[in-house]
């Protein structure tokens, strides 16, 4: 069975993205309706994809022998252009919905406002904070693992020896 595991640095970005999308909708005076929530699902998916790409590139760099810091910086540098291009295309694709008028415009405003507000923040977080979170969490994990391996090992307690008859030896 294949389990899906999202590394902790990836999940740190998702909460902030949701809060920023809610803030954008609130500032524009819109409601948290089903249209906004559909946009939120899309936004979380794209934000998670960006974060996962950065972290997975950093993990690959670590396996190649780079330090945690170098791996995080290299992953952010390598993913900068694709993340910016994807995010800008997504944001500019939402602009017509953001400025829409006529029948059903409020539903389009809800979707676009949440996505634009959240995507601007998601891009910033993905490029700057995800590598930092990767560095902090991986460094803490290595320190924890090295401290755990360096702790003195106590030998297991042994039971008193029993003679072949099964009863404990006298005096013991």
Give the closest residue to 33 by CA, choosing from 134, 112, 140: 112
Give helix 130-150 / helix 8-27 axis angle, nearest 10°.
Answer: 150
Mean pLDDT of 161-166: 59
Q: Which residues of 66-86 are buried (b: 16+ CB within 10 A; e: fewer)?
A: bebeebbbbbbebbeeebeeb
Hey, how many other C-beta atoms are within 10 angstroms of the C-beta on 119? Answer: 26
Which of the pair, 111 or 168, is modelled with greater confidence? 111
DSSP class of residue 100 equals -
CB of 53 within 8 A of CB of 79?
A: yes
pLDDT tens profile 59-106: 999 999 999 999 999 999 998 898 899 889 999 998 998 888 888 888
pLDDT at position 51 over 80: yes
Residue 78 and residue 84: Cα distance in Å, rounded?
11
pLDDT above 90 covers what percent of the chain? 16
pLDDT at position 111 over 60: yes
pLDDT band at 53 (very low <50, low <70, confident <90, very high): confident
CB of 94 within 8 A of CB of 112?
A: yes
User: What pLDDT was estimated at residue 170?
Assistant: 58
User: What pLDDT was estimated at residue 69?
Assistant: 92
Residue 130 and residue 124: Cα distance in Å, rounded?
9
User: Tokens at residue 21, please?
Assistant: 């999308």
- Domains present along the chain, CATH in parentheses: 33-138 (1.20.1640.10)
| Cα Dmax for the chain | 97
Which of the pair, 35 or 155, is modelled with greater confidence? 35
Hey, how many other C-beta atoms are within 10 angstroms of the C-beta on 155? Answer: 5
pLDDT band at 169 (very low <50, low <70, confident <90, very high): low
pTM: 0.71
Mean pLDDT of 113-120: 86
Give the closest residue to 31 by CA, choosing from 118, 113, 121: 113
């Amino acid at each position: 069975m294949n389990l899906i595991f999202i590394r902790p640095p990836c999940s740190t970005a998702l909460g902030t993205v949701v809060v920023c999308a809610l803030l954008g909708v609130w500032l524009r005076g819109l409601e948290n309706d089903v249209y906004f929530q559909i946009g939120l699902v899309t936004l979380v998916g794209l934000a998670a994809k960006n974060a996962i790409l950065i972290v997975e590139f950093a993990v690959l760099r670590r396996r190649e022998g780079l330090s945690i810091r170098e791996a995080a910086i290299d992953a952010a540098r390598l993913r900068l252009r694709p993340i910016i291009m994807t995010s800008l295309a997504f944001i500019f694709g939402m602009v017509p919905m953001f400025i829409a008028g006529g029948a059903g415009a409020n539903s389009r405003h809800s979707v676009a406002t949440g996505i634009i507000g959240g995507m601007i923040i998601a891009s910033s977080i993905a490029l700057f904070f995800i590598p930092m979170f990767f560095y902090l969490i991986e460094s803490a994990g290595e320190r924890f693992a090295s401290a755990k391996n360096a702790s003195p090992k106590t030998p297991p307690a042994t039971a008193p020896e029993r003679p072949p008859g099964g009863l404990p030896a006298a005096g013991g």
